[in-house]
Amino acid sequence: MRRMIARPAAAAIVLFARAITAVRAIWPNEGAPQGKCIYFANHSSHGDFILVWAVLPPRLRSQARPVAGAEYWLKSAINRFIGRDVFDAVLIERDPDKRTQDPVEAMAAAIDGGSSLILFPEGTRNQTEMALLPFKSGLFHLASARPDVLLVPVWINNLNRVMPKGEIIPIPLICTVTFGSPMKIDADESKEAFLARTRSALLDLSRKQIGGHE
């Protein structure tokens, strides 16, 4: 029964997200990526992956699975339904003592199964005045495990203002989801260099939006 209503529920969530945010995608000159990829984005709201998922073309959307914290998406029946059945999220247990599978192995298995991933390398929602929190190492380890998979930077703009922390009713505002050019990990690239390069790719997208070059 859950699977039967998951598809119309997904359609309803996409329509609601678009109605509230009038979200639009901004693609690089080469257009949307082809094949499996890892979309890595800034993270300020629990709705971030919904906006990324909503603006993907249907073919890419059907392949995309968000990577999300198990403690949040398993805490209630409705969260479990949305996380597991509607979005088929790759749920990661953040507490190492509760893990039954290595997070990188779980994400790599999803890619091997034909999925693209929506990943937030900050690891938690950014509630600070900083543009980005420091990146966790998961993106580096995943890229190292699957070096041929494209890495696509994604900047989500305005969603933190649509649903401020502690608010229940969203505030209608126009949001954009800007996709950068795909990149790959370089052979023998260090963790520090890789994380600095991918973080810079997101900050570059942020500056373009602030500068009005969308």
Write down the pLDDT at residue 192: 97
Write down the pLDDT at residue 170: 54
CB 51 within 8 A of CB 25: no
pLDDT, tens digit, for every residue of 73-101? 888 898 889 888 899 999 998 888 888 88
**How many separate domains does the chain show?**
1
Residue 123 Cα distances to 4, 18, 65, 168, 185, angstroms = 32, 25, 16, 23, 20
Residue 151 Cα distances to 135, 144, 198, angstroms = 15, 11, 9
Angle formed at CA 174 by CA 168 and CA 175, multiple of 5 degrees: 85
Write down the pLDDT at residue 103: 94
For β-strands 150-157 and 176-179, DSSP reports them as antiparallel
**pTM for this predicted structure:** 0.88
Write down the pLDDT at residue 208: 76
Give every residue of the chain whose pLDDT is below 50, as ranges: 162, 168-169, 212-214
User: Which CATH number covers residue 197?
Assistant: 3.40.1130.10
The range of the structural domain enclosing residue 133 comes to: 2-210
Centre a 10 Å sphere on the Cβ of residue 148 and count the other Cβ atoms it contains. 10
